[in-house]
Amino acid sequence: MSLPEPVTTMASPFRMDYTYVAGVGRSVFLRGLAERRLLARRCPGCAQVYLPPPEFCSRCLSELEAPFELDGLGAVSTFCVVNFPFPGQTIEPPYVVAYIQVHGAGTRLMHLVREVEPERVRIGMAVEPVWAPDDQLTTSLKSIQHFRPVRGADA
């Protein structure tokens, strides 16, 4: 006589909806994106330049200085090639995810690098932002569609 089959799984799906509060500092950055502006802020204590900037320097706890605009030109600081599919993925793999060292910023910005074969991407490559068309600009990093190599640059 065999034992009854044990219950091995049960479905209990949760759905939870949240409000995201960006805070004062990050709101300045997000609003800038909707105007195609990359807004950075400098710490008066240690001169670190944050992009995106919070309200306070996380090292000195000083309030950051007034926002100023960067042109978005930068270099690939590090990158990886995403080769696998996963639920919710919006881009067909393979594609490149990179840390971008935007010139003038002390922190790195994570974004896509496209308009280039993944095998040609390398650390140090000069890149520039590709902004979304006017009707797609929003208070989100999606206002930058991706970064791409600077044409003619030999970085």
Positions in the binding site for other proteins (CB under 8 A): 10, 12, 14-26, 54-56, 58-61
86 token code pair: 């996963």
- Cα 55 from Cα 17, distance rounded (Å): 26
26 versus 37: smaller Cβ distance to other proteins: 26
- Closest contact distance (angstroms) between CB of 9 and other proteins is 11
- Cα 76 from Cα 60, distance rounded (Å): 28
* Helical (H) or strand (E) element with 30: helix 23-33
25 versus 74: smaller Cβ distance to other proteins: 25
- Closest contact distance (angstroms) between CB of 76 and other proteins is 25
Question: How far is residue 57 CA from its own chain's centroid?
Answer: 19
109 versus 132: smaller Cβ distance to other proteins: 109
